[in-house]
Amino acid sequence: MVYAGLYDKSNVTEGQQRFTDYTIVHESYPGKVGPNDIALMHVTEPFVFNDKVQPVLLPARKEVVEGDCHLYGWGQVKSLLPISPKFLQTMETDIILYEECKELLPPNAPISEVNVCSAPRDNKLSACNGDSGGPLVKETEDGLVQIVGVVSWGYIPCGNQGLPSIYTNVASYVDWIAIAKADYYKGIAFCAKL
């Protein structure tokens, strides 16, 4: 089940719910912390766009995104308190480019060029347990919303001063997304011919 437009978990009727009929996980994802931490799901019925449900733009292939972004998620608000919030959480954060991020992390950190990082502005907030898969988005000059990253991993305790949160860089996977989408629709066409 996928929800969109949900802000209050105790009122699931405020959002839209959809079933999925197809999920694909990147074929090179190792199943733990590391690169290629991305998946796609196809919903059985389109979402209806309104003031709470809007499409996001994909970045250009290999686009380098800088500046401020917004993170959304249902993860823990404190890393040692395993309770997810009742309301959707959001925070502003700044993108850190790969080389700078690499310097901030321990030498053995499982980061690669297909990741993007963010640093919290107040050094107390960050992505946390339960935020994985959540969107890191940026507003474009046209006022549209672009997805920059997908929450992948971070260090515990969350908000650890000086350590960034790590995301899958969506710009690194635009071609993979296009191929996965095409393969899905080829499968639909093939099944329809049977």
Sequence ranges of the domains in the chain: 2-178
pTM over 0.85, yes/no: yes
User: Which two three-digit tokens encode residue 120?
Assistant: 């919290």
- Count of alpha carbons within 13 angstroms of residue 83, beta-carbon side: 4
Rounded mean pLDDT, 104-128: 86
Element (DSSP H or E) covering residue 163: none
Please give the CATH number for the structural domain made up of 2-178.
2.40.10.10
Write out pLDDT tens, residues 28-54.
998 888 899 999 999 999 999 999 999
Q: How far apart are CA 24 and CA 39, in angstroms?
A: 5
Q: How far apart are CA 123 and CA 137, in angstroms?
A: 19
Q: How far apart are CA 153 and CA 30, in angstroms?
A: 14
Q: If DSSP codes are grouped into helix, strand and coil, which group holds residue 133?
A: coil
